[in-house]
């Protein structure tokens, strides 16, 4: 049986060219073909490391059609490396589509780890790294952007966003408007000469910022109030009869309603029971 090629997902530097692994360089040297988001950009990287390889473009708008061409080549036995302009393919970059088609075709997928902007921003942020939600780019459309942020408002995990410099201030203002004035960290120009971390309340960061230049990751502290806290607060603002009715309308039995009302209002079950004894 003819041998099928491997699909390597190779991480490349996000600024500092020394941030590429020996394994990544060896794979780029050994594969038959490199699929790149921007072939001119990748050519510079390859030239720097004196690697000469055929390149094929693979960017967002042509992901579907190009995936089929690449899969054909993999099925013919060619080994292919997928790279993006910077960092890890598939993270706010093309990759997901070809990986799915490759899985359907029983092609072996081999990730080759390396730089990723958000991981490095997060680990140096000083915010909680135990649990986090990676959001990536928000929509450029005002309504979609706000809707997404509303959806994330009560997320207690650290939130991670990517943003282009010319949209940064607008995005920070919208985050502040929806989330309130939380602690944030901007990781700017990671691994490059002007690398810096800007920490503070969103309003202070906006106030002290000139025209944003370079690349940014936005890390936002998770909410300390959960959606459940807010819901309970709203129920506790009702009178006890309305509170009882709310659970009754959900079809709960009397015993369960009394238990919940007492728990929400932090009172003894007997107090609630006495009110609804008849």
- Positions in the binding site for ligand SAM (CB under 6 A): 14-15, 84, 86-88, 91-93, 116-118, 162-164, 187, 189-192, 215-217
Closer Cβ to ligand SAM, 5 or 84, answer by number:
84
Taking the complex as a whole, the smallest distance from the CB of residue 268 to ligand SAM amounts, in Å, to: 52
Rg from Cα positions in the chain: 26
Closer to ligand SAM by Cβ: residue 145 or 243: 145
Least distance (Å) from ligand SAM to the CB of residue 163?
5
Instruction: Write out the two tokens for 237.
Output: 């603002």
Query: How many Å apart are CA 38 and CA 212, to the nearest integer?
Result: 25
CB of 195 to ligand SAM, least distance (A): 7
The size of the chain, in residues, is: 278
Contact, 116 vs 87, CB < 8 A?
yes
> At its nearest, how many Å lie between ligand SAM and the CB of residue 215?
4
- Phi, psi of 181, rounded to the nearest 5 degrees: -85, 80
CB 157 within 8 A of CB 220: no
Q: Taking phi first (over 0 means left), then psi (-120 to 50 degrees means alpha), and beta for anything else, what does residue 172 get?
A: alpha
Residue with the CB atom nearest ligand SAM in the bound state: 87
- State which residue, 76 or 144, has the beta carbon closest to ligand SAM: 144
User: For ligand SAM, which is the closer residue by CB, 66 or 260?
Assistant: 66
């Amino acid at each position: 049986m003819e041998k099928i090629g491997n699909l390597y997902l190779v991480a490349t530097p996000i600024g500092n060219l020394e941030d590429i692994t020996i394994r990544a360089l060896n794979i780029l040297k050994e594969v038959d073909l490199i699929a790149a988001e921007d072939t001119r950009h990748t050519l510079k990287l390859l030239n720097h490391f004196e690697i000469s390889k055929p390149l094929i473009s693979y960017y967002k708008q042509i992901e579907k059609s190009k995936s089929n061409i690449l899969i054909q080549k993999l099925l013919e036995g060619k080994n292919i490396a997928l790279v993006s302009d910077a960092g890890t393919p598939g993270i706010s970059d093309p990759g997901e589509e070809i990986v799915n088609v490759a899985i359907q075709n029983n092609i072996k997928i081999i990730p080759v780890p390396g730089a990723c902007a958000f991981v490095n921003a997060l680990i140096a942020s000083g915010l909680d790294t135990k649990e986090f939600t990676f959001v990536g780019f928000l929509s450029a459309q005002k309504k979609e952007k706000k809707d997404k942020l509303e959806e994330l408002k009560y997320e207690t995990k650290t939130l991670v966003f990517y943003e282009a410099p010319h949209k940064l201030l607008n995005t920070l203002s919208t985050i502040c408007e929806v989330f309130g004035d939380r602690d944030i960290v901007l990781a700017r120009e990671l691994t490059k000469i002007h690398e810096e971390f800007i920490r503070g309340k969103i309003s202070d960061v906006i106030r002290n910022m000139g025209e944003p230049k370079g690349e940014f990751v936005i890390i936002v502290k998770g909410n300390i109030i959960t959606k459940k806290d807010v819901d309970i607060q709203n129920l506790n603002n009702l009178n006890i009869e309305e509170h009882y009715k709310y659970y009754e309308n959900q079809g709960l039995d009397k015993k369960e309603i009394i238990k919940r009302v007492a728990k929400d209002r932090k009172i003894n079950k007997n107090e609630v029971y006495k009110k609804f004894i008849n």
